[in-house]
């Protein structure tokens, strides 16, 4: 058999191998949206010319061995793209199934060689691709998150909002919110771009983003306000207000980030969900530390005891939230119990204060009326959140605006503002009327 015939046979074998090769043998994380078909075809032609499949020039067959895997992969990708286009053409009626935009830098092309170094065995650059077929999605694949990710990378995710049934199972949280969901992005940058258009998480994002910025600016303003209003204010006084505002910024900032990135991927959503819960614990600590300071204005021992108790409970709750040992359904009730215990612990210093100073005095020196209003906001928010009202009564009507989670967010902000007003009033009363020995 002459060399042209042997090259032709080898080429046919490679094409057969590339098309029949089990897809599971391809590398991981291949994304069809990362391939430019024209550059791919050019690469294949260049490789064929390089190994002299289509020329009559003589060469040593050993010279082609290093780039045969690259050639086989390129052919496999070409065939895969053809099959994907055929599949998507059949799904053309579904608006979300638009073909991705193929665009990446040029694929590696082998350098030209001469007959003098034809026997060189230096491997050609590898074509780094991976299989789109090893899916990490969980549950419903009616619209593949991997495919939606390619849409996002092409900058088209902003034009596509999904219905509840088109989401993967891990992302299906509230069955009464029917439309307005962002596609799975797989990218923090793409998720961040969703700030620029309206979807069913927009209110959840901005209802905590704007107050977080306001509380952050309040860190600066409160220092000026206190120093101008009170001549003998102490460093501890400044710290109490700054600490509360910082905990509010932390809670609202983590909540904003969670609702921004919750469409990134299952792993990222779960990570930021835990951080969101930690933010709630942090704000609870900020509430209690400032409230205890006002209740026990001249009682440093009781103040330190309750601060220590609240701090230990808070740190324990945070540890349980982040520890892998306490994750999963088995420890769900235990996690909820520690969360509730931390919240209820705030009643201990209030009850102690009522016993020490009397109810009427506590209403003046501790800011308790505002704490009761704050508790009312949180209780109403929890009831709305738990019952998923009003969307549970009118499914689909509150997809974008007015859902239970959005109302809960707004009530949390009202509660934080009420707490700040309460400690300002309590501080004013204590500073002007109570003199510590």
CB 210 within 8 A of CB 252: no
CB 88 within 8 A of CB 99: yes
Q: Given this model, what pLDDT does residue 107 score? A: 44
Q: Given this model, what pLDDT does residue 11 score? A: 55
Q: Where are the domains of the chain?
A: 1-101+126-134, 139-197, 202-433
311 pLDDT more than 60 = yes
Please tell me whether 259 is known to bind a ligand. yes
List pLDDT tens digits, range 212-255: 999 999 999 999 999 999 988 999 999 999 999 999 999 999 99
Mean pLDDT, all residues of the chain? 79
384 pLDDT more than 60 = yes
Please tell me whether 431 is known to bind a ligand. no
Residue 327, φ and ψ in degrees, nearest 5: -90, 170
Question: Worst-scoring range by mean pLDDT, 45-49, 151-155, 256-260, 276-280?
Answer: 151-155
CB 276 within 8 A of CB 255: yes
3-state SS class at 109: coil
Q: Given this model, what pLDDT does residue 101 score? A: 47
Residue 154, φ and ψ in degrees, nearest 5: -85, 0
List pLDDT tens digits, range 157-178: 446 899 999 999 999 999 999 9
List pLDDT tens digits, range 29-87: 445 555 666 666 766 676 666 555 444 444 444 455 555 666 666 666 767 777 777 77
Residue 283, CA distances (Å) to 191, 258, 286, 338, 412 in order: 26, 16, 5, 15, 10
Please tell me whether 409 is known to bind a ligand. yes
> How far, in Å, CA of 85 to CA of 83, rounded?
5
Task: Name residues whose C-beta falls within 8 Å of residue 17's C-beta, 6 or more positions apart in sequence.
Answer: 72
348 pLDDT more than 50 = yes
The pLDDT-based confidence of 419 (bands split at 50, 70, 90) is very high
Burial class (CB in 10 A: 0-12, 13-18, 19+), 255: buried
pTM for this structure?
Answer: 0.65
Architecture of the CATH domain 202-433: Up-down Bundle (1.20)
> How far, in Å, CA of 161 to CA of 122, rounded?
49
Is the peptide bond prior to 390 cis by the omega test (within 30 degrees of 0)? yes
């Amino acid at each position: 058999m002459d060399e042209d015939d042997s090259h032709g046979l080898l080429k046919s074998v490679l094409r057969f191998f590339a098309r029949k090769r089990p897809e599971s043998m391809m590398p991981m994380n291949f994304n069809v949206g990362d391939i430019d078909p024209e550059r791919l075809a050019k690469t294949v032609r260049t490789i064929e010319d390089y190994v002299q499949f289509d020329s009559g020039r003589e060469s040593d067959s050993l010279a082609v061995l290093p780039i045969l895997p690259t050639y086989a992969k390129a052919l496999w990708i070409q065939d895969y793209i053809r099959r994907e286009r055929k599949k998507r053409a059949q799904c053309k009626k579904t608006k979300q199934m638009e073909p991705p935009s193929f665009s990446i830098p040029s694929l590696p092309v082998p350098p030209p060689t001469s007959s003098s170094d034809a026997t060189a065995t230096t491997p050609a650059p590898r074509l780094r691709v991976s299989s789109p077929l090893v899916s990490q999605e969980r549950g419903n694949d009616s619209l593949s998150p991997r495919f939606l990710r390619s849409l996002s990378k092409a900058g088209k995710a902003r034009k596509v909002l999904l219905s509840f049934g088109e989401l993967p199972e891990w992302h299906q949280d509230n069955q009464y919110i029917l439309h307005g969901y962002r596609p799975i992005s797989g990218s923090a940058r793409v998720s961040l771009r969703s700030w620029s258009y309206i979807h069913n998480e927009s209110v959840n994002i901005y209802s905590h983003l704007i107050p977080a910025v306001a509380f952050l600016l309040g860190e600066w303003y409160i220092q000026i306000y206190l120093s101008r209003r009170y001549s003998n204010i102490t460093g501890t006084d400044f710290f109490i207000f700054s600490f509360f505002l910082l905990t509010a910024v932390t809670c609202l900032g983590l909540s904003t980030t969670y609702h921004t990135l919750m469409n990134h991927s299952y792993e990222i959503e779960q990570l930021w969900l835990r951080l969101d819960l930690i933010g709630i614990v942090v704000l609870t600590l900020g509430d209690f530390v400032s409230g205890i300071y006002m209740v026990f204005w001249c009682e440093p021992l009781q103040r330190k005891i309750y601060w220590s108790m609240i701090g230990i409970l808070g740190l324990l709750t945070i540890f349980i939230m982040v520890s892998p040992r306490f994750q999963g359904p088995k420890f769900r009730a235990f996690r909820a119990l520690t969360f509730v215990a931390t919240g209820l612990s705030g009643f201990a210093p209030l009850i102690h204060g009522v016993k020490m100073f009397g109810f009427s005095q506590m209403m003046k020196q501790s800011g308790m009326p505002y704490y009761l209003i704050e508790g009312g906001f949180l209780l109403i928010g929890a009831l709305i959140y738990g019952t998923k009202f009003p969307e549970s009564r009118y499914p689909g009507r509150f997809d974008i605006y007015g859902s239970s989670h959005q109302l809960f967010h707004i009530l949390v902000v009202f509660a934080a503002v009420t707490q700040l007003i309460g400690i300002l009033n309590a501080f004013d009363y204590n500073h002007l009327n109570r003199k510590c020995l």
